[in-house]
């Protein structure tokens, strides 16, 4: 589980975590057109920006997610890269991608880590901040 002491919500409403000079910013959006509440299917998109604020290049190698629905059911997902890529971020570089998450409940949250590798083959984890998956008319909560 990530160290949430370095997580916060920025002035722009995005969820943020900083680990070893790698800043991860997340926003989420309910996808009403892809959801079927009557059938217990709710869809969200989330956009993540990863910014290398350090002075050495890093490559994103793996992702690990914990996805929790409103009933407290946790699904763990892990694998190589993100959206089919393993981007290298040089100092000052940013990488942004959008992905999606289906749930069987009308709210939940996600939290996780990326595994990064330096040029000297050191591996380390970077926190992905916990972020809410709430319907637009609901209050933003971390369930």
SS3 14: coil
Q: What's the topology of domain 4-134? A: Immunoglobulin-like (2.60.40)
Structural domain spans, the chain? 4-134
Which among 68, 56, 60, 57 has a CA at the least distance from the CA of 24? Answer: 60
- Determine the pLDDT at residue 88: 98
Position 143 confidence tier, pLDDT thresholds 50, 70, 90: very low
Q: Cα dist. 3→7, 17, 104, 106, 118 in Å?
A: 8, 9, 27, 27, 21
Please compute the mean of the pLDDT values over residues 21-26 and round it to a whole number.
97
pLDDT over 60 (residue 81): yes
The pTM of the full predicted model, rounded to 2 decimals, is 0.90
């Amino acid at each position: 589980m990530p160290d949430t002491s370095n997580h916060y919500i920025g002035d722009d409403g995005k969820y943020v975590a900083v680990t070893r000079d790698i800043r991860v910013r997340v926003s989420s959006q309910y996808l009403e057109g892809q959801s079927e509440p009557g059938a217990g299917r709710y869809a969200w998109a989330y956009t993540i920006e990863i910014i290398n604020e350090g002075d050495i290049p890093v490559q994103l190698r793996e992702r690990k997610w914990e996805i929790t629905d409103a009933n407290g059911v946790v699904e763990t997902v892990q694998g190589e890269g993100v959206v089919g890529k393993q981007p290298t971020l040089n100092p000052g570089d940013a990488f942004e991608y959008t992905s999606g998450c289906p749930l069987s409940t009308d709210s939940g949250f996600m939290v996780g880590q990326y595994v990064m590798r330096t040029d000297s083959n050191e591996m380390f984890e970077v926190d992905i901040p916990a972020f809410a998956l709430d319907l637009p008319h609901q209050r933003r909560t971390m369930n």
